[in-house]
Amino acid sequence: MYEKSLPVICVVFIIFIVSLFPICSSSVFKDDLISCYDIVVPDDYCCIQDALDAACEDYCIFVRSGVYNESIMFSKKGVSLIGENRNDTVISAKGFINVVGIFSDAVCIKGFSVSGCLGSGVVINGCNISVEDVVVEGCGGSGIELLESDNVTLKNNCIISNENGIDIKSSNYNLIKSNSISENLWFGIILQNSNNNTIKDNAFNENERYGAYLILSDNNIVKNNRFSKNLRVGFINWMSNNTIIQKNLIKDNLEGGLVISKCFKNTIIENEITNNKWAGLDINSSNNNSVSNNSIKNNGNYGCGFYNSNDNKITYNDIINNSYGYYLDRSYNNSILNNNFVNNDIHAYFYKSYYNHWDSNYWDDWIGLRFRFGLKRIILRLIPKFIFGKITIRSKDISWFVLDKNPVSNRY
């Protein structure tokens, strides 16, 4: 009898032990996780600032979920501050100017909500700093502000309802990646006198003025971003040269999509610029820029407009279903080649614009000279495409035309 009941007893015992194991392992795992940090808040110190003051260089501080009513400052190199969960680990600084100040190098902050200050949520003045997985909301100044800071990474942050989203001044070689930046009062992001930065994979939506604004900032890359439903312009590049603007979605902005003003040698390539209320692409007083392989569709007034802009090259773009497809105003020596003009109210128009080169574009309203020879339909390019506009002679505007001498019969 005893021998028969022994296996049953063993099985019951094993099931009992296994049922306890997840609880034990979870508890042990959590304790092991916490034990790998040098300081735990509030276990070791009740305030985050006390923990930062007590930390040595290269310390790692863990902050449990909770609301911490304080303003904090990093002053030691290499310190990492890790919150348990960005939604539940809150630093609220009501009545303070800034919430987080980082004034040392190689600092990391991750996993917090930052809110409620009169100034900026996070202020950075240092190098090799990382701000990741942080929510910054409701600050009277900028959500995140960089001052003379290089090699900073801002990644996977949510920056909402501040005066500005991200404000970068005199800062170079920074990476702004995969952030959600919305409903800020002025700019989603603004760069001033800042060079060689990369802005990629971000969403700039529903900001009350501009999605992005670059001022006096050269050699920046703006790639794979979404600029949508901003209440004025999606993206402005002003007096900023050698900017690469690539593979962005610029859509549904209430005034303009992309504005290039007083710039040189920018590359605008493979963007989708669509459904902007006033204009898709507006290039003003800018020379030697390249606009290629973009989809410019369904914009209210004009798809692509050039004002006082010379020596630009516009190639292989889809310019479709705009009021004016392409508009030239007092612009010279531009090359408009190999584009598709489809279903615009007016494909192209010029005003006081001379010496521009139109060639080998597809026009859906170009007739050419067609006839049949037997069963074969033949199209001869004996009739060029006429492009109408106005020029000034003796102070009087008169109607004029220029030619695309080699229009193509099939879309690119």
* pLDDT at site 337: 98
Task: Look at residue 27 and tell me if it is in a domain.
Answer: yes
Give the whole-angstrom CA distance, residue 156 versus residue 177. 7
Q: Which two tokens stand for residue 316?
A: 């292989």
Q: For 175-227, how does the pLDDT look when each residue is reduced to its tens digit (9 = 90+)?
A: 999 999 999 999 999 999 999 999 999 999 999 999 999 999 999 999 999 99
Give the whole-angstrom CA distance, residue 222 versus residue 339. 24
Task: Look at residue 152 and tell me if it is in a domain.
Answer: no
Query: Which domain range does residue 13 map to?
Result: 1-36
Q: Which two tokens stand for residue 274?
A: 């669509």
Q: For 255-275, how does the pLDDT look when each residue is reduced to its tens digit (9 = 90+)?
A: 999 999 999 999 999 999 999
Give the whole-angstrom CA distance, residue 291 versus residue 172. 26
List the chain residues with pLDDT less than 70: 1-33, 369-382
Phi, psi of 71 (to 5 degrees): -110, 135
Q: Is the peptide bond before 7 cis (omega within 30 degrees of 0)?
A: no
* pLDDT at site 36: 87
Give the whole-angstrom CA distance, residue 230 versus residue 212. 10
Please count the other Cβ atoms lying within 10 Å of the Cβ belonging to residue 385. Answer: 25
* pLDDT at site 5: 53
Q: For 311-342, how does the pLDDT look when each residue is reduced to its tens digit (9 = 90+)?
A: 999 999 999 999 999 999 999 999 999 999 99
Task: Look at residue 167 and tell me if it is in a domain.
Answer: no
Task: Look at residue 8 and tell me if it is in a domain.
Answer: yes
The helix (run of H) or strand (run of E) holding residue 13 is: helix 2-35
Task: Look at residue 103 and tell me if it is in a domain.
Answer: no
Q: Please enumerate in sequence order all residues whose Cβ is within 8 A of that of 200, keeping only pairs 6 or more positions apart, or say none.
A: 175, 176, 177, 178, 221, 222, 223, 224, 225
Fill in the DSSP letter of residue 366.
-
Fill in the DSSP letter of residue 114.
E
Tally of structural domains, the chain: 1
State the greatest distance between any 2 C-alpha atoms of the chain, in Å, as a whole number: 122
Q: Please enumerate in sequence order all residues whose Cβ is within 8 A of that of 172, keeping only pairs 6 or more positions apart, or say none.
A: 150, 194, 195, 196, 197
Task: Look at residue 139 and tell me if it is in a domain.
Answer: no
Contact 57, 79 (CB under 8 A): yes
Q: Which residues pair with 198 in a beta bridge?
A: 175, 221
Phi, psi of 22 (to 5 degrees): -60, -40
Task: Look at residue 146 and tell me if it is in a domain.
Answer: no
Q: Which amino acid is at 321?
A: N
Task: Look at residue 47 and tell me if it is in a domain.
Answer: no
Q: Which two tokens stand for residue 79?
A: 């310190």
